Amino acid sequence: MQTNLEQVILRNLLTDENYMRKVLPFVKPDYFEGVYRILFKEAGIFVGKYNKLPTIESFKIELDQTEKLSGEQYT
């Protein structure tokens, strides 16, 4: 499985707080396509709401509550 730039950015945004705080203000949803755009937006909403990185469990709960992802995208 090949890792693309969108995955690398999202992985670092969701796991490295220093990276998230430095990069998030400058990255736009337009830089992402498909499911990555949705995940980026949801991550931004979470950080804006709680001012911290989401845990895996809390991010999953947020994604469960959104209707933006289809069943296949969610998986």
Task: Show contacts of 39-45: CB within 8 Å, 24+ apart.
Answer: 39/10, 39/63, 40/9, 40/10, 40/13, 41/68, 42/66, 42/68, 43/10, 43/13, 43/14
Tell me, what's the pLDDT at 75?
A: 58
pLDDT tens, position by position, 32-54: 998 888 889 889 989 999 999 98
pLDDT tens, position by position, 2-16: 468 899 999 999 999
Tell me, what's the pLDDT at 27?
A: 92
Tell me, what's the pLDDT at 1?
A: 43
Tell me, what's the pLDDT at 18?
A: 94
